[in-house]
Structure 1
């Protein structure tokens, strides 16, 4: 008899396997060329099983990407106090790439480029959630650095956070303009570093 605990572990393992298979196939074939059937068959499950975990191929990516956002804010708060805001955000993103490579790879798959490039979609909570989380983290950092909390600080944190997300968005769009053979995680890291260097200038 399978216990509830074992069922949960099996479900978690299946979900992770689907995400990892999707990431690998998106990198190899591209987002548009990879079907739900392809992903399910790679894991040895049916399409019906896939849809028990994800409503769609798009949902598979967005769910994983959204899971990264609280981690970005946590890493920003954890950066050394002497780092300037943009440096802290950049280094937090690079730390994330080192520790959550699967999720970051999904961020640079085909779907997010559509989310980030379509004005109608980019106005949705996908990016707003990241902006708001960064805003709170940066406001905390500025307060701890001795800045007086209030409307002026809230505006400063908001501008810094939303500019940081704009730099990330530009990174994703520039990444997808590269020749296919140049779209590596290392290239994404390099572009992110350059984008935040531009902000600091």
Structure 2
């Protein structure tokens, strides 16, 4: 009787791929924090993850694609966290606290530490299609879900406009934080307190809103 050599578990290969991908993302987040997005190379990320550059390119065509894919995955995660915040929190406070609750995740670190790298508004590939717009719309939808008392509110133009304005103001804070990170001396980037930066960014916006009221 011929013995058939058992094949590897179908799930094992996928688990290894997932671990490698997560290692690359974690390495990228750490290096973006330490060196900045612009000064981090694909070779740096691969080396920090313990793999070769060829392995990096099996998962991400470019360094930019890593950022874009992680931002795309962050969108539903953040929207869900906003909706789950206590009902008493104002929309921008809920966004701030949702971000603070996710700061330790690699998706958020990659997004916040990407510096001047823009989120595309013009589609170049299917995965990049209107990423900034999708990000803002997801936050706006989460705000609307929190503030609408009924189906009529969900359709009400005034409610929708308010949610849209607040979402774009809040996402603007996150984009400003990314830019501010690039202005820090490299020697101080390791010491940056992202929690404090997020709080300070939203405090600036909230104080401006109160002063203008």
- What's the counterpart of residue 111 of structure 2? 107
1:22, 1:39 within 8 Å by CA — same for their partners in 2? Answer: yes
Is this contact kept in 1: 2:144–2:163, CA < 8 A? yes
TM-score by length of 1: 0.84
Would you say how many aligned residue pairs link Structure 1 and Structure 2?
194
Offset from partner CA, 1:111-147 (integer Å, 9 cap, x none) = 442216xxxx456623212100011111111113998
- The CA RMSD over aligned residues, in Å, is 2.5
1:112-123 alignment runs, 5 A limit = 112-115=115-118, 121=120
Moved more, 125-134 or 19-28: 19-28
Q: Which runs of 5+ in 1 are unaligned?
A: none
The answer to whether the 8 A contact 1:65-1:107 is kept is yes
1:73 aligns with one of 79, 82, 107: 79
- Partners of 1:168 and 1:43 lie apart in 2 by 27
Given candidates 20, 42, 61, the residue that maps to 2:26 is: 20
Query: Partner of 1:6 in structure 2?
Result: 12
Structure scoring higher RCO (CA < 8 A, sep ≥ 6) equals 2
Return the TM-score normalized by structure 2: 0.79
Give unpaired runs (5+ residues) of structure 2: 1-6, 124-129
Asked whether the equivalents of residues 64 and 103 of structure 1 are also in contact (C-alpha less than 8 Å), the reply is: yes
State yes or no: 1:171 paired with 2:174: no
Matched, 1:57 2:63: yes
Bigger Rg over Cα: 2
Q: CA deviation at 1:190?
A: 1.8
User: Hey, which of these two has a bigger chunk of helix by percent?
Assistant: 1
